[in-house]
Amino acid sequence: MTFRFDDVLRATRLDAWWTAAPWLNYRPSWRALALLGGSLAVLGSVVTGAWLWFAAEQRRGLEAFADAMVTLQTSQFAGAKPEERTQAIAGFEGALGEKPSGAIASQVTYELGNLKYGIPQYPESRVAYELAARGTSPTLRRLAQMSLGYTWEAQKDYAKAIEAFQSAQASLKPGDFLYEDLAMDLGRVQELAGRKDDAIATYRRVASSPKGLRSDEARTRLANFGVQP
């Protein structure tokens, strides 16, 4: 193995630079180390405090949600007084005030919409459903979108009810959760809107599924129109 003079010279220069590098000879003072340690300690305390605060906030949110659910169950018993439903609504609004996590907040908002729907306060329930429909749970979003359709149907605005049911069903395919329920809801409001041909087409989609849970119901609706599945 041979060495060239250029290689030796380059290695010598590199060794000289490495040895002379000022950062290699730097030794932090005890004061700098103390300041660094203090900064890290403060940072750790801030992180720990933020985590404890967040955990406490979530715990309060969960507790408020649980209390509101108990009140909700009481308000749904036969013979429940109107003020009990009002108390349940106040409980859910209070739970939202505790700023629970996203998933819990969506559930609270959805239940609040259901309560206001039952009063009935349809515009107010729509506000809650629209907020719940922005949540992270696909199932809850779909339920909220479906409920929006019910509010419009209850107010006899069938065009908007049709739009809401179609929007809720847009990402679904036969066999998916709520697909047939949404289809039957859609067919019903299409009937109410006088859109007979659209209703027939919707019912036929449901009736064509041999394993559909509501295919028999769809065939009955088609028979009422005097048409074949």
Is residue 144 within 8 Å of residue 113, measured between CB atoms? yes
For 61-137, CATH number out of 1.25.40, 2.60.40, 1.20.120, 1.10.472 equals 1.25.40
Residue 122 makes CB contacts below 8 A (sequence gap 6+) with 116, 151, 154, 155
Return the domain boundaries, the chain. Answer: 61-137, 156-229
Q: How confident is the model at residue 40 (pLDDT cuts 50, 70, 90)?
A: very low
Report the alpha-carbon distance of residue 3 to residue 162 in Å, rounded.
85
Is residue 218 within 8 Å of residue 200, measured between CB atoms? no
Give percent above pLDDT 90 in the chain: 34
**Is the pLDDT assigned to residue 155 strictly greater than 80?**
yes
| Most confident region among 50-54, 106-110, 142-146 by mean pLDDT | 142-146
Find the mean pLDDT for residues 172-186: 92
pTM (two decimals)? 0.64
Report the alpha-carbon distance of residue 102 to residue 57 in Å, rounded.
12
Give percent above pLDDT 70 in the chain: 59
Q: Which amino acid is at 197?
A: D
CA distances from 80 to 47, 85, 86, 87, 146 (A): 47, 8, 11, 11, 27
Read off the pLDDT of residues 86-141 as tens digits, 9 standing for 90 and up: 777 777 677 666 666 666 778 888 888 888 898 889 999 999 999 899 888 888 89
From 18-27, 43-52, 213-222, the region with the lowest mean pLDDT: 43-52
